[in-house]
Structure 1
Amino acid sequence: MKKRCSWCEGSDLYRSYHDKEWGMPLHDDDKLFEFLVLESFQAGLSWSTILNKREAFRLAFDDFDAAKIVNYNEEKIFELLNNAHIIRNRLKINATVHNAETYLHIKKKYGSFDKYIWQFTDFKVIKNAWSTEDDIPPTSPVSDKMSKQLKKDGFKFVGTTICYAYLQAIGAVNDHITSCFRYHEVGV
């Protein structure tokens, strides 16, 4: 039996996410934007809630296509607010529309969103060595710096805790516990 981080043992969906995605270095701009949207919606909620609604989010937000999202009008926002399959929070929905515009601007300015995001870890994976999940902090100096810069650049719902979870999810920080089989498989 494979040893995993205990947080993922609640369901097959969680285990699959842990085994195939979480902590894998991600460099695709559109996927990086998707994770930013999902992490923003997760604020104040459990990740399992978001993961269980992920496909509904994909459908509702045009497969996280920022070029489409920036054109959402009040009618589309009303539709999203009435979509029982996603998180119906006006602030988070409006922030997603706003963040899509900011994302497109940053992507153009830096040549890619990947370059912008990975600059916070000096374009490499930060490999921690936590023995237990209780050792893993909710934030770090890197997530503090990232949050401050994202806010300065116009992003919303990007506090330091959200940024740290985002860095973990996209594999910029390897926070698999050292006894987890994925610890040596991801990052450098």
Structure 2
Amino acid sequence: MKNRCFWVTDSKLYQDYHDNEWGTPVYDDQTLFEFLILETFQAGLSWITILNKRENFRKAFDDFDYHKIAAYSENKYNSLLQDAGIIRNKLKIKSAISNAQLFLKIQKEYGSFSKFIWNYVDGKPILNQFTKREEVPATTDLSDKISKDLKKLGFKFVGSTVVYAYMQAVGMVNDHTSDCFKYQT
């Protein structure tokens, strides 16, 4: 049996996510946007809730195509509010649309969102060396800074806790604990 990080349950979905995605560096704008949307919808909820609805989100949000999402009409917004397969939070749905518009703006300015976001860690993951659950932070000075910068640009639902979870998910930080089979030194 594989030893995994403390937060992984016996859910196959959770285990697959942990083993194949979480903490793996992502440099592709499409995937970075998908995680941005998923993390913003997760605010105040459990990650397993989002994972269980991920395919529904994918369908509802046009495979996370930020070009399409940025151009969503009022009709599309209203249909999303009726979609029981996703989190039907008015503000989060509105933020997905405006965040997609801002994502495009950053791409235009920096060449890619990846260049913009990975610049905060000089293009390579921060490898933490945590041994216990208590050591893994919910926020850091860096997530505070990124959160503040994103909010200044107009992004919504990007508080420091959401940003740190995003950093973990896309591998900007590697927080696999030392007893986890995915741990790297």
> Shared fold by TM > 0.5?
yes
Quote the offset at 1:123 in angstroms. 1.4
Which whole-Å CA distance do the structure 2 matches of 1:18 and 1:133 have between them? 15
Which whole-Å CA distance do the structure 1 matches of 2:176 and 2:9 have between them? 13
TM-score, normalised on structure 2?
Answer: 0.98
**Post-superposition CA distance 1:8-63 (Å, at most 9, x none):** 12300000000000000000001000100000000000000000000000000000
Quote the offset at 1:141 in angstroms. 0.7
Match of 2:7, SS? helix
The aligned residue for residue 119 of structure 2 is 119
Which whole-Å CA distance do the structure 1 matches of 2:150 and 2:119 have between them? 12
The aligned residue for residue 128 of structure 2 is 128
Which whole-Å CA distance do the structure 2 matches of 1:132 and 1:141 have between them? 20
- Give the aligned residue type for 1:32: L
Quote the offset at 1:133 in angstroms. 1.7
For structure 2, the 5+ residue unaligned runs are: none
Quote the offset at 1:165 in angstroms. 0.2
- Give the aligned residue type for 2:118: W
The aligned residue for residue 3 of structure 1 is 3
Higher mean C-alpha displacement, 20-29 vs 2-11: 2-11
Which portions of structure 1, spanning 4 or more consecutive aligned residues, are displaced by more than 6 angstroms? none
For structure 1, the 5+ residue unaligned runs are: none
Which whole-Å CA distance do the structure 1 matches of 2:140 and 2:63 have between them? 30
Question: What is the alpha-carbon root mean square deviation over aligned residues?
Answer: 0.9
Match of 1:6, SS? coil
Say whether residues 1:68 and 2:68 are aligned partners.
Answer: yes
- Give the aligned residue type for 2:173: V
The aligned residue for residue 143 of structure 1 is 143
TM-score, normalised on structure 1?
Answer: 0.96
The aligned residue for residue 82 of structure 2 is 82
Quote the offset at 1:70 in angstroms. 1.3
Write the mapping of 1:103-118 to structure 2, written as runs, cut at 5 A: 103-118=103-118
Which whole-Å CA distance do the structure 2 matches of 1:163 and 1:41 have between them? 12
The aligned residue for residue 32 of structure 2 is 32
Which whole-Å CA distance do the structure 2 matches of 1:10 and 1:54 have between them? 18
The aligned residue for residue 99 of structure 2 is 99
Higher mean C-alpha displacement, 133-142 vs 83-92: 133-142
The aligned residue for residue 173 of structure 2 is 173
Which whole-Å CA distance do the structure 2 matches of 1:10 and 1:56 have between them? 22
Which whole-Å CA distance do the structure 2 matches of 1:183 and 1:153 have between them? 34
Match of 1:84, SS? coil
The aligned residue for residue 164 of structure 2 is 164
Which whole-Å CA distance do the structure 2 matches of 1:55 and 1:152 have between them? 31
Which whole-Å CA distance do the structure 2 matches of 1:141 and 1:90 have between them? 30
Match of 1:106, SS? helix
- Give the aligned residue type for 2:65: D
Say whether residues 1:153 and 2:157 are aligned partners.
Answer: no
